[in-house]
């Protein structure tokens, strides 16, 4: 039976912030004056006009001694060493792959930063270079860690651990990078039955939990068997929950996603994306998170 739901648009309600934690943040919009004091050095996101320091992006003002900068709320991903990212291969070049990570420049994955099958350590030969496309092609998804950042801001990735590598079957959700909370680990096996990788660059990968955990192949063997329906339901529900959390501008981390999943259980999976259901679920999640803190 076909289900078509149409409705009239409703003006978005402003999300009321919960009790401010850690002091008030000074939020500015482009064109707002930050300060008229000329003693400050201007950092990123600001410019000087008529002796006033004006913000050029929308975000929070950060002050470090004499340096004033504005950290934008919605930007492209700015790489930092040690971040976990999920990226998509866009090009296969001579000794490296170009990876799209939602940043200003394509990231780079050098052949020498990639694990070889079986974890062997040897110098990469010409045969390895010719076999690059056999392993990673255009369109493939990988999980990797940021090794270094070039001077122009481009990020260099590495997959030098067996937990990184090519990703198999699953669902990718793209969210603004500033909504992904920085945590100790970004690989989570959720108790509801699926696993999730929260990339710092805003790419979230949801996949069915692999059965054998002892041998991690590093992504060289892709499991092409059909995923069972029960796992699919969990993955679809998680995906919709993440979309709901992003819509209501809540930070994404394993606890918030789990609480949102539990709050969404009474509803059907496809109903989670309806505006009123989204609000209700996220409100409940927010309440539970506040209770957890307080």
Partner 1 sequence: MASVVLSEAEKLYIVHGVQEDLRVDGRGCEDYRCAEVETDVVSNTSGSARVKLGHTDILVGVKAEMGTPKLEKPDEGYLEFFVDCSANATPEFEGRGGEELGAEIANTLYRVFSSESSVDLKSLCINPREHCWILYVDVLLLECGGNLFDAISIAVKAALFNTRIPKVQVSEDEEGSKEIELSDDPYDCIRLNVDDVPCIVTLSKIGYRHVVDATLQEEACSLASLLISVTSKGSLTSLKKVGKGSLDPESIFEMMETGKRVGKSLHIALQKVLDEEESLGSSRQKVGFLG
What is the binding site for partner 1 (CB under 8 A)? 1-12, 88, 90, 138-141, 167-172, 222, 224, 226-227, 229, 232-233, 236-237, 239-240, 243, 268-270, 272-275
User: CB of 272: closest distance to partner 1 in angstroms?
Assistant: 7
Q: How far is the CB of 139 from partner 1 (least distance, A)?
A: 4
Our CA dihedral for 210, 213, 216, 221, rounded to 10 degrees, sits at: -30
Mark 9-42 as b/e (b = at least 16 C-beta within 10 Å).
eeeeeeeeeeeeeeeeeeebeeeeebeeeeebeb
Give min distance, CB of 37 to partner 1, in A: 34
For partner 1, give the closer residue by CB, 166 or 186: 166
Between 60 and 243, name the residue whose CB sits nearer to partner 1.
Answer: 243
Q: What is the DSSP letter of 44?
A: T
- Between CA 65 and CA 88, with CA 80 as vertex, the angle to 5 degrees is 150
- The residue among 4 and 19 lying less far from partner 1, judged by its C-beta, is 4
Nearest by Cα to 263 from 253, 272, 275, 254: 272
Whole-number minimum distance, CB 101 to partner 1, in Å?
Answer: 14
Least separation in angstroms between residue 218's CB and partner 1 is 15
Nearest CB to partner 1, comparing residues 43 and 170: 170
> Residue 278 CB, nearest distance to partner 1 (Å)?
10
3-state secondary structure of 177: helix
Distance CA 61, CA 256 (A): 26
CB-nearer residue toward partner 1: 70 or 282 = 282
Question: Hey, what's the torsion of the CAs at 254, 257, 262, 264, to 10 degrees?
Answer: -170
Nearer to partner 1, 139 or 191 (CB): 139
Which contiguous run of DSSP H or E holds residue 197?
strand 194-198
């Amino acid at each position: 039976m076909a289900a078509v739901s149409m409705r009239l648009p409703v003006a978005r309600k402003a999300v009321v912030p919960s009790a401010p934690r850690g002091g008030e943040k000074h939020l500015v919009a482009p064109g707002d004056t930050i300060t008229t004091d000329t003693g400050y050095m201007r950092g990123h996101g600001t410019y000087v006009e008529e002796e006033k320091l004006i913000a050029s992006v929308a975000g929070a003002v950060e002050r470090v001694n004499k340096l004033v900068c504005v950290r934008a709320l919605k930007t492209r991903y700015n790489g930092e060493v040690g971040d976990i990212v999920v990226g998509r291969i866009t090009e296969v070049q001579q000794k490296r792959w170009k990876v799209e990570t939602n940043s200003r420049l394509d990231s780079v994955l050098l052949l020498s930063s990639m694990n070889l099958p079986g974890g062997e350590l040897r110098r990469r030969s010409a045969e390895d270079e010719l076999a690059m496309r056999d392993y990673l092609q255009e369109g493939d998804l990988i999980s990797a860690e940021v090794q270094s950042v070039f001077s122009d801001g481009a990020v260099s990735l590495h997959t030098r651990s067996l937990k990184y590598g090519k990703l198999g079957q699953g669902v990718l959700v793209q969210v603004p990078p500033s909504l992904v909370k920085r945590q100790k680990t970004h690989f989570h096996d959720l108790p509801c039955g699926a696993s999730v990788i929260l990339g710092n660059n805003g790419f979230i990968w949801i996949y069915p939990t692999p059965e054998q955990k002892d041998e991690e192949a590093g992504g060289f063997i892709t499991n092409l068997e059909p995923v069972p329906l029960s796992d699919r339901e969990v993955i679809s529900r998680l995906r919709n929950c993440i979309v709901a959390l992003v819509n209501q501008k809540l930070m994404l981390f394993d606890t918030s996603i789990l609480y949102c999943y539990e709050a969404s259980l009474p509803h059907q999976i496809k109903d989670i994306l309806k505006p009123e259901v989204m609000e209700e679920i996220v409100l409940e999640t927010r309440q539970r998170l506040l209770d957890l803190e307080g």
